[in-house]
Structure 1
Amino acid sequence: MNYTLHQLQIFLKVTQLKSITKAAEELHLTQPAVSIQLRNFQDQFEIPLTEVIGRQLYVTDFGTEIANAAEKILAEVYAINYKTLAYKGQLAGRLKLSVVSTGKYIMPYFLSGFLKQHPGIELVLDVTNRAKVIESLENNEVDFSLVSVLPDQLQVERTELMPNKLYLVGYKEHGLDKESYDHNIFEGLPLIYREPGSGTRHTMEKFINKYHLPVRKKMELTSNEAVKQAVIAGLGFSIMPLIGIKNELINGELRIIQVNGFPITSTWNLIWLKNKEFSPLADAYLNYLDRYKNQIISDKFRWFSDWDK
């Protein structure tokens, strides 16, 4: 056996994503480079690690065992690197967060200063829908999660970051030019929804059910960006977070339709499992937020708080 740490890293990423192309993208390598390293790694075993059926890559049972071992080996290597930095007096380690998809518009601003202060930190940031975010938190796979809708059946603690405001949004030529509308406007609007499990959809449906709005569902899309492009194209209307449509509002691609009771307001919360034992790194990050979050909001999100003024 003469495999390298680089080959272990590539093999593990391929098994996690079930795709050479996606693994190459995440590792910032070319697809041929990943394929070559994967083949060289396979050549050291007599038993297949993966197999391709049609165009789908599958991991064999033996390959799964090797992937589990590779993950443990790489974790030990990371630990050695972090211990070296810690011995030198530097804060180091992996900070793992899961973030709902619209949270990607705010979370980087609450991380960048901390990471600049501590260059020995490795950030693992998973951006996905609310259901998967809560699942990763429940399984204790992350230190923190960012949500705008708190989980119902999971005991968590939290720190509030900033408000989240949702508006009814249409394309630029929608022709709805009154200063304000009542809820009857929804009778004639084809609404575009996010997928089940989305925090935006949860908030939207909660509002619709509360006021018994006569909505007409037009379509369902799996990301905030997809909904945004569909609305811009004139395929329908949607209730969207202000945080994710700033540029489109400024350049006129999207327009807010003023409706009584809007905006729908919730709060972005950074949450963690109750009674979780923090690593020194996670504890330091919470202290950083307590000290700097108000300044970050003032510096980076003044436009957000001033939008309705």
Structure 2
Amino acid sequence: MKYTLHQLEIFNKVNELQSVTKASEELFLTQPAVSMQLKNFQDQFQMPLFEVVGRRIYITEFGKEIALAAENILNEVNAINYKALSFHGELAGKLKIAIVSTAKYVMPYFLTDFINQHKSVDLFMDVTNKAEVVRSLENNEIDFAMVSTIPKHLKINRIQLMENKLYLVGGKQFKSTGNYLSNKEFEQLPLIYREQGSATRKKMEYFLSSNKISIYKKMELKSNEAVKQAIIAGLGYSIMPLIGIKNELKNGDLQVIPVKKLPMTTDWNLIWLKSKNLSSIAKSFIVNINENKDDIIKSKFNWFDEYL
């Protein structure tokens, strides 16, 4: 057999994503190039690695065993590369971070300088829901997590990064008088909620219950982007983080509606397990964050000041 590391990488990615199209996108290759390498790889085995049914690709049990072996081989190769770079004094290896979906508007700005300074550091960032972020942290699958609500059942260290402000947001169809919205007016609005377990949803429910605001009609959507698009389309209103709607506020698709006792403010936190045996990369990242976070907040998020 004369399969290449490139073929192992392609097959491993196809197995991971269950899609030739998605694998080609992530690997920055054309779909025909991925298909050709996949065929060349398959030709070296007597048993099928995958089956194509309709337009979907299914990895066989044998294929899954080969994919696991391929992943192990690629990890070992990466380890060799990292060791060689480290021997020459470079910071090299993986930095694994899991963040809640709204944090994707924040975390990249705290990563850019660090990743650009250390070209041999590979970043793996999972953008998912809060439950999955906490699970990844608890199972020691990641170095860091970014959340606005600290998981109370875990012993963690944290760096407080910046404020997370939540406002009532509506589309351009809302005719604002410039006055605070009364509770009676609030109760007439169809409200859009995030999914159960979302920190944003918990803050929204707390605001409504503490101010004794009854619900006229509500919808539930599973991402900040989905909520945003629903508001723009005129489906309803929501209490949501300011951080995710900068461009929509600027172009007039969304507007902040003044309500007494809003905004509610939480904090974005970079957290990690106290028991975590931090790598040299993770330790360097903590130093970088502590040294640069104030400058990053000042230069990248000064537009917050328009909404006090």
Deviates more, 1:204-213 or 1:148-157: 204-213
Secondary structure of the corresponding residue to residue 142 of structure 1? coil
The 1-side partners of 2:250 and 2:184 are apart by: 28
The 1-side partners of 2:143 and 2:217 are apart by: 37
Deviates more, 1:212-221 or 1:186-195: 212-221
Summarize the Cα distance change of 1:191–1:47 in structure 2 as closer, same or farther, 3 Å threshold.
Answer: same
Checking the alignment, whether the CA contact within 8 Å between 1:159 and 1:270 is kept in structure 2 is yes
Report the equivalent of 2:224.
224
TM-score by length of structure 1 reads: 0.94
Q: Does 2:104 correspond to 1:98?
A: no
Secondary structure of the corresponding residue to residue 245 of structure 1? helix
The 2-side partners of 1:10 and 1:275 are apart by: 35
Secondary structure of the corresponding residue to residue 46 of structure 2? coil
Summarize the Cα distance change of 1:34–1:198 in structure 2 as closer, same or farther, 3 Å threshold.
Answer: farther
Summarize the Cα distance change of 1:54–1:186 in structure 2 as closer, same or farther, 3 Å threshold.
Answer: farther
Report the equivalent of 2:285.
285
Summarize the Cα distance change of 1:255–1:71 in structure 2 as closer, same or farther, 3 Å threshold.
Answer: same
Q: Does 2:306 correspond to 1:307?
A: yes
Deviation for aligned residue 1:38: 1.5
The 2-side partners of 1:114 and 1:128 are apart by: 23
Deviation for aligned residue 1:285: 0.4
Summarize the Cα distance change of 1:231–1:114 in structure 2 as closer, same or farther, 3 Å threshold.
Answer: same
Q: Does 2:157 correspond to 1:157?
A: yes
Deviation for aligned residue 1:204: 2.1
TM-score by length of structure 2 reads: 0.94
Root mean square deviation, CA, Å: 1.7
Deviation for aligned residue 1:217: 4.1
Deviation for aligned residue 1:216: 3.5
The 2-side partners of 1:135 and 1:211 are apart by: 33
Deviation for aligned residue 1:170: 0.5
Post-superposition CA distance 1:94-132 (Å, at most 9, x none): 111111111111111101111122111111111122222
Report the equivalent of 2:59.
59
Report the equivalent of 1:16.
16
The 1-side partners of 2:212 and 2:91 are apart by: 52
The 2-side partners of 1:281 and 1:303 are apart by: 31
Deviates more, 1:239-248 or 1:49-58: 49-58
Checking the alignment, whether the CA contact within 8 Å between 1:183 and 1:260 is kept in structure 2 is no
Checking the alignment, whether the CA contact within 8 Å between 1:100 and 1:199 is kept in structure 2 is no
What is the aligned residue count?
308
Deviates more, 1:265-274 or 1:175-184: 175-184
Checking the alignment, whether the CA contact within 8 Å between 1:158 and 1:270 is kept in structure 2 is yes
The 1-side partners of 2:110 and 2:174 are apart by: 36
Moved over 4 A (4+): none
5+ long unaligned stretches in structure 1: none
Report the equivalent of 1:166.
166
Paired AA for residue 124 in structure 1: F
5+ long unaligned stretches in structure 2: none
Deviates more, 1:211-220 or 1:8-17: 211-220
